[in-house]
Amino acid sequence: MSFRDYAPAPESTAILNLRPHYGLYIDGQWTEGGGGSITSISPATEKSIAEISMADSSDIDRAVLAARKSYDTVWSRMSGAERGKYLYRIARLIQERAREFAVAETLDNGKPIRETRDIDIPLVAAWFFHYAGWADKLDYAGLGPNPSALGVAGQIIPWNFPLLMLAWKVAPALAAGNTVVLKPAETTPLTALMFADICQQAGLPAGVVNIVPGHGGVAGTALVEHAGVNKIAFTGSTAVGRNIARTLAGTETRVTLELGGKGANIVFDDAAVDEAVEGIIAGIFFNQGHVCCAGSRLLVQENIQDEVVEKLTRRLATLRLGDPLDKNTDIGAVNSKAQLARITAIAETGEAEGATRWTLDCEIPSKGFWFRPTIFTNVTTSNTVARDEIFGPVLSVLSFRTPDEAIIKANNTPYGLSAGIWTQNASRMLRVADSLRAGVVWANTFNQFDPTSPFGGYKESGYGREGGRHGLAAYLANGGAR
């Protein structure tokens, strides 16, 4: 028996206190939606977690009106210092219930408990803590004199980091003095609904935060098209982002979009190879590759390609795929059946187009949605797996010969969200970083996030920044592009 056959170490779900049914959280009240209900399942087991009421357009209307009323009567009249205190309360309540949120997120999303426990939830608390302090300091944000809130912010978030994306949206919006209507993703509404409890516990005035689960095509569209919304913030696919931008053309509604990516992870031949291998893995296998800023294209200098790929496959063999609640799991479940089908299809296309496929030989559970970590080598720049965002644990390996070629290949995509650089040559690192058309560049590291650090894309990866001082600009009326 291998030492690595660790005995199961499941995180207990006893800490959860879930309700069998969740409604919409509007104006400080739980209410039923008009859009029917769905059963939220755990993608790792396909077992149902809870029944979730779905919003229809009239529910969105109610939520926007509630947000407007609370904006007009309470939130816009409150001092920044008082607003900040609510955000501090929220940050603390999340810290206190961190484990509970981590377990719920893992259950609902399928991502490993190690990630929700060590990354997602701590960052959620950090995000609220950071923006809490901004609420009474907006004058110092360098965004012009007397910065004012926009009003009601409609926020639509994805399923890959459910609660973290909520924090990225809600914290700066509230700090800047807006009220919000937030629509979580269909497959991952649970922690957003639990967050509604936090808002209640924090004593946040009714209507400041409204949580409305729903289908994108119904509730999402209604929110985007609602005339009473002053701002739309969306994180999700480029296709949907494009529709939102088109829909909002000619309106006064401000919009920021955080969309897809096809990040290049560039490894030079002088790189710290073992750390680079870790970074490549963190870049594409973190959160099953359901990461918009994933380093999904490995660009490795040709003279070390074999060594890097060999080390990479060897290292991948030590990754543990399985029960996301097990504390030793590295790779969890794919979030949904639909996403699994999409990943499977693109991988098949890549293979058909001539790339060489390597798949980790590992057991997968009989129930749930699973995709084995996969690496494509002999990938040409025209291959689908080198161009399309896969949003799954699939890495495409391309090679380059010179730094110029690396830069050209890295930038050869309509996306521009993230990139990685691995070299010990500081001068080359800085120069390559300058040339990359990407909003976040990680040098000798990857997939690091911090509330003080602006995040967002170039080109078709969207516009606007989330995080830090820059993230406030998305929620304040100070001009600029939309």
Check binding of 349 to other proteins (CB under 8 A): no
Site for other proteins in 218-247 (CB under 8 A): 238, 241-243, 245-246
Site for other proteins in 137-196 (CB under 8 A): 142-144
- Binder among 442, 472, 474, 475 for other proteins (CB under 8 A): 442
Check binding of 455 to other proteins (CB under 8 A): yes
Closest separation between CB of residue 327 and other proteins, Å? 4
- Which amino acid is present at 210? N
Check binding of 327 to other proteins (CB under 8 A): yes
Check binding of 302 to other proteins (CB under 8 A): no
Q: Choose between 129 and 369: whose C-beta lies nearer to other proteins.
A: 129
| Burial class of residue 102, CB neighbours in 10 A (0-12, 13-18, 19+) | buried
Given the DSSP bridges, would you call strands 356-359 and 374-377 parallel, antiparallel or unpaired?
A: antiparallel
Check binding of 458 to other proteins (CB under 8 A): yes
Check binding of 459 to other proteins (CB under 8 A): yes
Number of residues in contact with other proteins under rule CB under 8 A? 73
Closest separation between CB of residue 144 and other proteins, Å? 6
| 37-41, strands of its sheet edge to edge | 21-22, 48-53, 37-41
Site for other proteins in 96-125 (CB under 8 A): 114, 118
Check binding of 278 to other proteins (CB under 8 A): yes
Closest separation between CB of residue 359 and other proteins, Å? 20
Rounded-to-integer distance, Cα 39 and Cα 436, Å = 43
Residues that are catalytic: 258, 292
The DSSP line for 284-332 is HHGGGG--TT---EEEEEGGGHHHHHHHHHHHHTT--BS-TTBTT-SB-
- Binder among 156, 185, 193, 429 for other proteins (CB under 8 A): 429
Site for other proteins in 62-91 (CB under 8 A): none
441: helix, coil or strand?
A: strand
Check binding of 412 to other proteins (CB under 8 A): no
Distance from the first to the final alpha carbon of the chain: 60
Give 400's strand partners: 301
Closest separation between CB of residue 320 and other proteins, Å? 9
Check binding of 271 to other proteins (CB under 8 A): yes
Site for other proteins in 378-407 (CB under 8 A): none
Check binding of 291 to other proteins (CB under 8 A): no
Given the DSSP bridges, would you call strands 48-53 and 37-41 parallel, antiparallel or unpaired?
A: antiparallel
CA angle (272 as vertex; 391, 313 as ends), nearest 5: 50
Closest separation between CB of residue 202 and other proteins, Å? 23
| Nearest Cα to Cα of residue 407 among 388, 395, 397, 421 | 421
